[in-house]
């Protein structure tokens, strides 16, 4: 039976750079004799996504023309939509165009790359990239954006810390970085998730992006998706986060408990993907939509402050950006996955249930404002969690996690988490 799912981005099917069988064994052997470069956690996640087809149609890290075009125009240099640069950097001056190099992370050879291009990005270039990709419309992005971002924006900090030389070229991926073993049944490749959705006969599928444990607002968003689509994928980031965020293992358990007790299981799939957060707000929402198209998902739930950090982004800027991106009309080059835009959601005492700004006529005093940041702050400080904020089974898991922490990270409350601006 032919798949009813949205086709992968780029018009070339799933472009997978992960080797298998004899080709894998041969490349691992060859890599032992190559110059080795240590890569970052972010580069590791990007490599794995190229390996499994999550970053289709990319076959490697970007050259300078693609970097500039993505920052400026939201497209690769050939006109294919792409919202965030995917870069590889090193301080090794001896690497040159034409070299083959092994890419290593913490002792594991992740991939090899044929270096087609080597170039430098100056401090001014990096700041320009930050302004284009990470600057939003929130209060932290006003005035001297870079001065604030250098202190408080983890995504900007990573760009500015990028090593001196950028390397571009096709990759051969040799490892999935331990994710299949660490998250069995949760970590899924695009091919695996597509197969599962095809078996269920799904065509119209929504994704709920998660980097926090699911609270009642997430649950409500997910159930809206279930109502209007064939099914919903609760799609969790299982790569690296910033200090103070809750690790993937805890979030996965919390989702399992919630699905077990509060969802019709045939309408929901829990899955994980191996990227690190960039905290790029609107641009990251677009990157999420690109790789979700590759996973077979054609609707992405976008609520307030999607992929944001601090107050760098407007509350619904990640929704609005979908209306501003370029469309060339060429098959395969445009983004097909569309946002499912949902307003502020909360528990309303007078409505006696979950509601949004579009459905609830009552005052702010009647509402329990829900956010992952607010929940983490309350739990980390041992504060009482208000009624209706989270399901008791989930809160029990989270309290157990926080009770075992020996070091606490101060959690900054931003407008989107506190309810300011409602």
Say which CATH number the domain at 168 has: 3.10.400.10
Tens-digit pLDDT profile for residues 4-30 = 999 999 999 999 999 999 999 999 999
Tens-digit pLDDT profile for residues 239-281 = 887 777 788 898 899 999 999 999 999 999 999 999 999 999 9
What average pLDDT does this structure show over 45-52? 98
Burial class (CB in 10 A: 0-12, 13-18, 19+), 39: buried
Evaluate whether residue 3 is within a structural domain: no
pLDDT at residue 415, as a whole number: 56
* Buried b / exposed e along 171-181 (16+ C-beta atoms within 10 A): bbbbbbbebee
| Average pLDDT, rounded, for the chain | 93
- With a pLDDT cut of 90, the percent of the chain lying above it is 81
What average pLDDT does this structure show over 340-352? 94
The residues near 160 (Cβ < 8 Å, ≥ 6 apart) are 123, 126, 127, 130, 150
191, 93: one domain:
no
pLDDT at residue 407, as a whole number: 66
Give the pair of three-digit tokens for residue 320. 């609005």
pLDDT at residue 203, as a whole number: 98
First-to-last CA distance in the chain?
A: 47
What average pLDDT does this structure show over 107-134? 98
112, 213: one domain:
no
Place of tokens 């929130």: 138
Evaluate whether residue 187 is within a structural domain: yes
Evaluate whether residue 86 is within a structural domain: yes
Comparing 1-15, 170-184, 315-329, 407-421, the range with the smallest average pLDDT is 407-421
Evaluate whether residue 144 is within a structural domain: no
163: left (phi over 0), alpha (psi -120 to 50) or beta: beta
- Report which of 184, 190, 245, 199 is spatially closest to residue 373, judged by C-alpha positions: 245
327, 400: one domain:
yes
Comparing 6-10, 179-183, 197-201, 396-400, the range with the smallest average pLDDT is 396-400
Q: Coil, strand, or helix at residue 166? A: strand
pLDDT higher than threshold 90 for residue 404: no
Evaluate whether residue 301 is within a structural domain: yes
- Distance, CA of 41 to CA of 57 (rounded, Å): 22
Tally DSSP H helices, then E strands, for the chain: 15, 15
Q: Give the pLDDT band of residue 383 (cuts 50, 70, 90).
A: confident
Check residues 409 and 252 and name the one with the higher pLDDT.
252
CB half-sphere exposure, 410, CA atoms < 13 A: 4
- Strands 100-105 and 35-38, how do they pair? parallel
- Distance, CA of 388 to CA of 355 (rounded, Å): 12
pLDDT at residue 412, as a whole number: 57
Tens-digit pLDDT profile for residues 287-317 = 999 999 999 999 999 998 999 999 999 999 9
pLDDT at residue 369, as a whole number: 81
Evaluate whether residue 154 is within a structural domain: no
pLDDT higher than threshold 90 for residue 416: no
- Distance, CA of 227 to CA of 267 (rounded, Å): 10
pLDDT at residue 414, as a whole number: 53
252, 304: one domain:
yes
234, 166: one domain:
no
CB atoms within 10 A of CB 199: 9
321, 290: one domain:
yes
pLDDT at residue 389, as a whole number: 81
279, 348: one domain:
yes
Which domain range does residue 350 map to? 179-418
The residues near 284 (Cβ < 8 Å, ≥ 6 apart) are 83, 84, 277, 278, 306, 307, 318
Q: Give the pLDDT band of residue 381 (cuts 50, 70, 90).
A: confident
Give the pair of three-digit tokens for residue 205. 């599928």
Q: Give the pLDDT band of residue 117 (cuts 50, 70, 90).
A: very high
pLDDT higher than threshold 60 for residue 155: yes
CB atoms within 10 A of CB 362: 12
Boundary residue ending a domain (173, 203, 234)? 173
Say which CATH number the domain at 247 has: 3.40.50.620
Three-class HEC string of 297-354: CCEEEECCCCCCCCCCCCCCHHHHHHHCCCCCCCCCCCCCCEEEECCCEEEECCCCEE
407, 292: one domain:
yes
pLDDT at residue 186, as a whole number: 95
Evaluate whether residue 140 is within a structural domain: no
Domains held by the chain: number:
2
Tens-digit pLDDT profile for residues 58-82 = 999 999 999 999 999 999 999 999 9
Evaluate whether residue 137 is within a structural domain: no
- Report which of 70, 86, 89 is spatially closest to residue 78, judged by C-alpha positions: 70
* Buried b / exposed e along 94-111 (16+ C-beta atoms within 10 A): ebeeebebbbbbeeebbb
DSSP annotation of 99 reads -
pLDDT at residue 301, as a whole number: 97
* Cβ–Cβ under 8 Å, residues 8 and 53: yes
pLDDT at residue 24, as a whole number: 98
* C-alpha angle 181-182-187 in degrees, rounded to nearest 5: 85
Catalytic residues: 211-212
């Amino acid at each position: 039976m032919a798949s009813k799912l949205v086709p992968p981005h780029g018009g070339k099917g799933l472009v997978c750079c992960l080797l298998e069988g004899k080709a894998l064994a041969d490349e691992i052997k060859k890599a032992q004799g190559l110059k080795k470069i240590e890569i970052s956690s972010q580069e590791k996640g990007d490599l794995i996504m190229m390996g499994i087809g999550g970053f289709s149609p990319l076959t490697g890290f970007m050259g300078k023309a693609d970097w500039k075009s993505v920052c400026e125009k939201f497209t690769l240099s050939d006109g294919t939509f792409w919202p965030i640069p995917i870069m590889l950097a090193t301080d090794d001056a001896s690497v040159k165009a034409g070299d083959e190099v092994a890419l290593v992370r913490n002792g594991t050879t992740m991939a090899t790359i044929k270096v087609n291009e080597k170039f430098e990005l100056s401090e001014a270039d990096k700041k320009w990239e930050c302004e284009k990709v990470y600057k939003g419309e929130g209060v932290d992005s006003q005035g001297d954006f870079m001065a604030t971002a250098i202190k408080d924006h983890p995504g900007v900090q990573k760009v500015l810390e990028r090593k001196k030389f950028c390397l571009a070229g096709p990759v051969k991926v040799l490892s999935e970085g331990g994710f299949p073993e660490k998250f069995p049944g949760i970590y899924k490749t695009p091919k695996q998730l597509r197969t599962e959705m095809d078996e269920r006969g799904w065509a119209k599928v929504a994704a709920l992006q998660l980097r926090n444990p699911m609270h009642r607002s997430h649950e409500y968003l997910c159930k809206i998706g279930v109502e209007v689509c064939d099914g919903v994928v609760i799609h969790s980031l299982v790569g690296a986060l910033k200090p103070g965020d809750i690790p993937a293992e805890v979030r996965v358990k919390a989702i399992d408990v919630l699905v077990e007790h509060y969802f019709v299981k045939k309408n929901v799939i829990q899955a994980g993907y191996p990227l690190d957060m960039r905290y790029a707000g609107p641009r990251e929402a677009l990157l999420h939509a690109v790789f979700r198209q590759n996973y077979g998902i054609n609707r992405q739930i976008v609520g307030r402050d999607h992929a944001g950090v601090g107050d760098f982004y407007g509350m619904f800027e990640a929704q609005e950006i979908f209306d501003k991106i370029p469309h060339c009309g060429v098959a395969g080059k445009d983004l097909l996955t569309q946002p499912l835009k949902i307003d502020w959601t909360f528990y309303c005492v007078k409505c006696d249930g979950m509601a949004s700004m579009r459905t609830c006529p009552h005052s702010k005093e009647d509402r329990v404002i829900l956010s992952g940041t607010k929940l983490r702050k309350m739990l980390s400080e041992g504060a009482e969690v208000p009624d209706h904020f989270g399901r008791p089974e989930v809160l029990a898991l989270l309290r157990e996690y926080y009770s075992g922490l020996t070091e606490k990270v101060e959690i900054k409350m931003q407008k989107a988490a506190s309810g300011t601006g409602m």
